[in-house]
């Protein structure tokens, strides 16, 4: 997966059209956004809906983007809020969290599916912020600085949330196997 490009503003290349610029943003950040959405929602179709909704929101708000945060963290913040909205709607409807059976390409690994399913179940039981910090750091490889900017918390706070979340998971890990 591509490294997080930290554009200073969404449209910063005068030689290419805004439409092409927007597509470039999708090409640069889309894969990671899909993964973040999937790891919050557990469903490929809902993850794609969330990414689409996020790009629409970015398009609507692009003239108000003030460049205070990097474009990627701004986009991730909108994406995560969109995922939270979907999760809340799902909870209001009383739906179970879904785990997609769709075939998905994962990074090459020797970890078996049972462990992944167990970790996903444990993550579902976590409060939103803990789950997001863990997902962004451990699964999607964001740094604490990027997580802090995305979630509007301090880096120290991000580090602390990750540590205490992993401690909590560690206590349940052996019992769940």
Q: Does 145 engage in binding with other proteins (CB under 8 A)?
A: no
Of 8-16, 87-95, 124-132, 156-164, which segment contacts other proteins by CB under 8 A?
156-164
Of 8-16, 35-43, 87-95, 125-133, which segment contacts other proteins by CB under 8 A?
35-43
Tell me which DSSP letter residue 10 carries. Answer: S
- Are the C-beta atoms of 25 and 9 separated by less than 8 Å? no
Q: Does 159 engage in binding with other proteins (CB under 8 A)?
A: yes
* Contact with other proteins (CB under 8 A) among 4, 7, 50, 51: 51
What's the CA gap between 97 and 141, in Å, rounded?
A: 24
For residue 176, count other CB atoms closer than 10 A to its CB. 13
CB pairs under 8 A, 24+ apart, for 101-106? 102/44, 104/38, 104/44
Structure tokens at 45: 């179709």
Q: Does 106 engage in binding with other proteins (CB under 8 A)?
A: yes
Of 9-17, 89-97, 105-113, 124-132, which segment contacts other proteins by CB under 8 A?
105-113
- Least distance in Å: CB of 105 to other proteins? 5
């Amino acid at each position: 997966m591509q490294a997080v490009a930290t554009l200073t503003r969404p449209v910063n290349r005068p030689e290419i059209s805004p439409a092409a610029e927007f597509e470039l943003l999708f090409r640069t950040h889309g894969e990671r956004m899909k993964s973040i959405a999937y790891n919050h929602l557990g469903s490929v179709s809902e993850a794609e809906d969330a990414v689409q909704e996020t790009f629409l929101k970015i398009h609507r708000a692009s003239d108000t983007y003030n460049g205070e945060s990097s474009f990627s963290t701004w986009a991730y913040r909108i994406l995560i809020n969109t995922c939270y909205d979907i999760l809340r709607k799902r909870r209001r409807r009383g739906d179970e969290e879904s785990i997609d059976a769709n075939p998905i390409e994962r990074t090459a690994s020797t970890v078996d599916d049972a462990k992944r399913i167990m970790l996903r179940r444990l993550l579902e039981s976590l409060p939103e912020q803990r789950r997001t910090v863990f997902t962004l750091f451990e699964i999607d490889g964001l740094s604490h600085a990027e997580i802090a900017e995305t979630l509007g918390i301090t880096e120290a706070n991000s580090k602390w949330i990750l540590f205490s979340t992993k401690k909590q998971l560690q206590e349940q890990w052996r019992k769940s196997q």
